[in-house]
Amino acid sequence: MTRFAAPIAEQIWDMKYRLKQIDGTPIDGSVEDTWRRIARATASVEADPAMWEERFYAALEDFRFLPAGRIIAGAGSDRSVTLFNCFVMGTIPDSMAGIFDMLKEAALTMQQGGGIGYDFSTIRPKGADVTGVAADASGPLSFMDVWDAMCRTIMSAGSRRGAMMACMRCDHPDIEEFITAKSDPARLRNFNVSVLATDAFMEAVKADADWELRFDGKVYRTLPARELWDRIMRSTYDYAEPGVIFIDRINQMNNLAYCEEIAATNPCGEQPLPPYGACLLGSVNLSRLVHQAYTEDAQLDIQALDDLVATAVRMMDNVVDASRFPLEPQAREAAAKRRIGLGVTGLADALAMVGLRYGSDEAATQTEAWMKRIARASYLASTEIAKEKGPFPLFDADAYLGSRTMQAMDEDVRVAVAEHGIRNALLTSVAPTGTISLYAGNVSSGIEPVFAHSYTRKVLQRDGSRTEEEVVDYAVQAWRDRHGDTADLPEHFVSAQTLSPDEHVKMQAAAQKWVDSSISKTINCPEDISFEGFKDVYLQAYETGCKGCTTYRPNAVTGSVLSVSETAETEPAAAEAAAGEVIYMSEPLDRPQTLEGQTYKLKWPDSPHAIYITINDLVVNGHRRPFEVFINSKNMEHFAWTVALTRMISAVFRRGGDVSFVVEELKAVFDPRGGAWMGGKYIPSILAAIGGVIETHMINTGVLEAEGMGLKTDPRADVQTLGSTRVSQCPSCGGTDLRMVEGCLTCASCGFSKCG
């Protein structure tokens, strides 16, 4: 029997987490092998590794504890990747040399698979004097463009794209340009952006007071606080960014306020971190802990929850010692504070299984109680580890116990910390779990509501035919198993389509009370919400204790995630038209014995050897499309990157979907040493020239209509029309099952995430 609750779960495991050799040959024969690999690796630092390996395996079994994807894919692999998900980089110096030192550190971190956050408030504003060079500063936005270009050239470890968060204080003189930067769809595509809103600013907004924009003690401009707030809100209303981070609340509630100051978060916002801060993530799957679901006696097994949390905390603490780090300062910071981020997934499913409607007062109360239990169990488990292994090195009992989080803790927890110290400075966080929730059987992700009770997914098979499979929410499938496939769902079953924004905020605030870091969550707003009503969502989040707020309002600019009908099927013909020729391949297509293709000669000026580019095509459903690329040169300096490019582009081509974005990505790469003039046009790099060759081939074979017609928005899909419903296509697999999951546009078919 398979351990997977749904076919999509096994496919996600195979694509994302199954350890394989470079040529794709599986090393993990089964998901049990994956669990064993993780358990063995995380137990290796214990005095009795055999005993802890079995305990860790038991926690992983049946998807009860879900380490973050970095750990599932990388633990025990002996590959040079980090097991940490989240990094905030060092403070950016306000100097050219310092800025580019930070750029290098960012590249090295993303190369090993880390998502990064930055506070760009430390860079002087545009137009400020630059001492000694008789010039004006270009401002932080210009350097964000440089970071964005760097990220575009780096594919993070595994199959994840680079992910970055850019933060800026609400009093920085360039904040207005920062707010609207992403209204240009071609700019800062690899960044999420958030405004750091201080308590003083929020009070000025409420009081309709003036607000100063200043840098290094100099006031550059004064404007009404409400005017600036309305600009933030208008951009978010129209473009879904920037997010808002209540930075003073984060620092006030921080257990480590006595030894650090936070000014940025990781890309999805759930981990506020100090300079060089790093955090690893993991989630307790609440849906697996419900006993006697859908009966009057349904309840979460609290003792099982306590035990699972204790094991998870120890396993995650061990990852701090087992992981590699891209930079030495990150390793030192992690070792000094031993931060972890244990959260939950399957909350909405668990609430449904015990008979509670997500978004109701009763559900919010139960959520708060469960999160408090997790916090208690986490802190007590960490004190037990501290008794054995010692507290984190920067532990100061008086200062730590004086933090607002610890002041709210039960007395027995405070006593335990006072007596034994605590192993991990911070312990809880609610992370995006879009892909691992699919891996666990399509449980509801994080603390989000169920997106859809079920949906139909098209899968392209090896022979070119397409099949359909129903993807059912875990709690809905449990109901069907009990009452039959045709049984109506109870009234307390709700989905993201039917909840009001204030119900979303209520659930976030209820969970936040007992989470010592933060929460990644999307507040879904209807398209027709008024601007004033939209602003009220953010004020409600601030007033109810949230540490940040991220919304998503579908509109003509942002596009729309798939609108799901709970009562009617989409017309097959319309779905076929919207889906395109290729939606998703369960596996890459086999290579035929022979393929038709063309070889192109590319001569780069001043290079002694030409580059030869062979592009072979495959005919799928009567259409010719590129299948593989071979790039060769006698210049041995080119050998490593031409081989890497050959493999990467060929892998993209074989997965299907609209692959024309490869052209635009290559054409956008610039060489800081300078480009060259070719055929009367300036080409910024050899890679851009290769992109031009591939573009020419695509035009000649009918894939592209003309030059410059390639897909320019790899992470952000074009909007298509399906009857009266707008549907976005996944840029990875071409499917239309897209949804916003904790601030990230996520594909339910293949697990692709805009945030990485």
> d(Cα 588, Cα 580) in Å, to the nearest integer?
18
268 is catalytic: yes
Which pLDDT tens digit goes with each residue over 343-392?
999 999 999 999 999 999 999 999 999 999 999 999 999 999 999 999 99
**Catalytic-role residue among 86, 268, 525, 747:** 268
pLDDT at 576 (0 to 100): 33
> d(Cα 736, Cα 580) in Å, to the nearest integer?
10
Which pLDDT tens digit goes with each residue over 545-558?
999 999 988 876 66
CA 36 from chain centre, in angstroms, equals: 26
Contact between residue 288 and residue 437 where contact means Cβ atoms under 8 Å apart = no
Q: What is the arithmetic mean of pLDDT over 490-498?
A: 89
Closest to 589 measured CA to CA, from 628, 555, 535: 628
Contact between residue 235 and residue 228 where contact means Cβ atoms under 8 Å apart = no
| Residue indicated by tokens 């499938």 | 477
| Residue indicated by tokens 């000026």 | 605
CA 585 from chain centre, in angstroms, equals: 23
Within 10 angstroms of residue 608's Cβ, the number of other Cβ atoms is 8
DSSP assigned state of 13: I
Asked if pLDDT for residue 411 goes beyond 70, the answer is yes
270 is catalytic: yes
Query: Which residue type sits at 602?
Result: L
pLDDT at 563 (0 to 100): 42
> d(Cα 58, Cα 617) in Å, to the nearest integer?
48
- Provide the 3-class DSSP secondary structure of residue 212: strand
> d(Cα 733, Cα 751) in Å, to the nearest integer?
9
Q: What is the arithmetic mean of pLDDT over 511-532?
A: 94
Asked if pLDDT for residue 572 goes beyond 50, the answer is no
Farthest-apart Cα atoms in the chain, separation: 79
Asked if pLDDT for residue 120 goes beyond 70, the answer is yes
Within 10 angstroms of residue 488's Cβ, the number of other Cβ atoms is 8
pLDDT at 557 (0 to 100): 65
| Residue indicated by tokens 């749904």 | 6
**Catalytic-role residue among 85, 190, 192, 266:** 266
> d(Cα 99, Cα 225) in Å, to the nearest integer?
30
Strand positions, DSSP E, 497-621: 523-524, 548-549, 551-552, 596-602, 611-620
Q: Which two tokens stand for residue 413?
A: 């927890």
Which pLDDT tens digit goes with each residue over 285-299?
999 999 999 999 999
Q: Which two tokens stand for residue 536?
A: 């009220």
| Residue indicated by tokens 């802190």 | 379
- Provide the 3-class DSSP secondary structure of residue 669: coil
Contact between residue 144 and residue 174 where contact means Cβ atoms under 8 Å apart = no
Model confidence at 672, in pLDDT bands (50, 70, 90)?
low
**Catalytic-role residue among 270, 503, 628, 695:** 270
Which pLDDT tens digit goes with each residue over 174-219?
999 999 998 887 788 889 999 999 999 999 999 999 999 999 999 9
Q: Which two tokens stand for residue 404?
A: 């607002």
Closest to 597 measured CA to CA, from 736, 700, 719: 700
Contact between residue 384 and residue 376 where contact means Cβ atoms under 8 Å apart = no
The values of phi and psi at residue 95, to 5°, are: -150, 155
DSSP assigned state of 390: -
Q: In angstroms, what is the C-alpha Rg of the chain?
A: 26
266 is catalytic: yes
- Provide the 3-class DSSP secondary structure of residue 523: strand
> d(Cα 564, Cα 184) in Å, to the nearest integer?
29
Contact between residue 257 and residue 241 where contact means Cβ atoms under 8 Å apart = no
> d(Cα 384, Cα 387) in Å, to the nearest integer?
5
Q: What is the arithmetic mean of pLDDT over 129-150?
A: 84
In sequence order, what are the beta bridge partners of 470?
456
